[in-house]
Amino acid sequence: MGSSRKSRLREPAADKRVMGLPLVITTLLVLLPLIPSWAQSRFVAELRTFSTRYHEDPSRLDTVRDGLEQAVKINPHVEDLVTLAQVYFIRGEVRATSDEQKLAAYNRGRQAANQARNLDRSNPEAHFWYAANTARWGDLDKAEAMFRKGLELDPQFTVMRVGLAKTLIKKGQIAEARRELEAVLNEKEPRNLADWTLKDSKDAHILLQSIQRRS
Count CB neighbours of 184 within 10 A. Answer: 24
User: Percent of the chain beyond pLDDT 90?
Assistant: 48
Per-residue pLDDT, averaged over 124-147, amounts to: 90
Q: What confidence tens digit (pLDDT) does each residue in 8-19 have?
A: 333 333 343 333
Q: Which domains does the chain have, with CATH numbers?
A: 38-142 (1.25.40.10), 155-215 (no CATH)
Contact 110, 85 (CB under 8 A): yes
Residue 168 confidence (pLDDT): 96
Taking alpha carbons only, the member of 84, 75, 95, 1 closest to residue 47 is 84
Answer yes or no: is pLDDT of 131 > 50: yes
Residue, of 12 and 214, whose pLDDT is higher: 214
Residue 56 confidence (pLDDT): 77
Q: What are phi and psi of 172, to 5 degrees?
A: 80, 10
Residue 14 CA to residue 12 CA, distance in Å, equals: 6
Per-residue pLDDT, averaged over 91-113, amounts to: 91
* Cβ within 8 Å of residue 79, ≥6 positions away: 37, 38, 41, 44
Residue 112 confidence (pLDDT): 97
Mean pLDDT (the chain) is: 79
Residue 182 CA to residue 200 CA, distance in Å, equals: 11
DSSP per-residue string spanning 81-123:
HHHHHHHHHHIIIII--SHHHHHHHHHHHHHHHHHHHHH-TT-
* Cβ within 8 Å of residue 183, ≥6 positions away: 161
Q: Where residue 94 falls among pLDDT bands split at 50, 70, 90?
A: confident
Answer yes or no: is pLDDT of 23 > 90: no
Q: What confidence tens digit (pLDDT) does each residue in 178-198 have?
A: 999 999 999 999 988 877 988
Residue 198 confidence (pLDDT): 82
Answer yes or no: is pLDDT of 139 > 60: yes
Answer yes or no: is pLDDT of 36 > 60: no
User: DSSP code of 178?
Assistant: H
Predicted model pTM: 0.64
Contact 91, 138 (CB under 8 A): no
User: DSSP code of 172?
Assistant: T
* Cβ within 8 Å of residue 138, ≥6 positions away: none
